[in-house]
Amino acid sequence: MRQSATRTKIALFALVCAGVASPGAAARAQQSPSRSGPAYTAADVQFMQGMIAHHAQALEMCTMAPTHGAGEKVALFCKKVMISQRDEIQIMQSWLRDRGEKVPDPTDKNAHAMPGMDMGGDSMLMPGMLTAAQMKQLGAARGAAWDSLFLTGMIQHHGGAITMVAALFAAPGAGQTPEIFGLATGIDADQRAEIERMQG
């Protein structure tokens, strides 16, 4: 009887442990998904979370165009960026939500920091992100001066996104699921093409 009670306690303890130690983001990333295909990794999750915040700053920059006297070509470019990057943010949010991962709020300024890091200063910003001083300078400019600052800042910003894609594919096993691979390679191609356009 005592042996049976001991077994019951052990079984209950195991169940409690299983509940407490339910897999988090990193643990789930190493598990095989329920559907066939490669498993996603912690680096995939960080890329999606980071790119949401990265895109959010680009949108913040582009929304200034109508009120800051952007030239016709720059204003048109901003509209294109806003359409494409809003769509990509929704895709990334859905991807994270479907997997039970944390979905960053694009409007949260602290989300501009590297995932998992406290926002202690501009040194912690993700690659290519404009500093608070750069954003303030952009906000104060008008007309041709705004166009120039915007293009310089957006080239820097796009370069950072390319760096983030490269870091993703450099991480072991990352970027291999069809959704991640398609999104990351698409972002890389778009950013490179847009940098050439802005430099022109």
Whole-number Å distance between alpha carbons of 170 and 50 = 16
Task: Report the percentage of the chain scoring pLDDT > 90.
Answer: 68
- pLDDT digit string, tens, across residues 55-75: 999 999 999 999 999 999 999
Distance of alpha carbon 9 from the chain centroid:
45
- pLDDT digit string, tens, across residues 34-55: 444 568 999 999 999 999 999 9
* pLDDT surpassing 60 at residue 33: no
- pLDDT digit string, tens, across residues 71-106: 999 999 999 999 999 999 999 999 999 999 999 988
Whole-number Å distance between alpha carbons of 35 and 185 = 23
Two tokens, residue 13 = 């303890």
Confidence (pLDDT) at 38: 67
Q: Write the DSSP symbol of residue 121.
A: S
Q: How confident is the model at residue 113 (pLDDT cuts 50, 70, 90)?
A: low
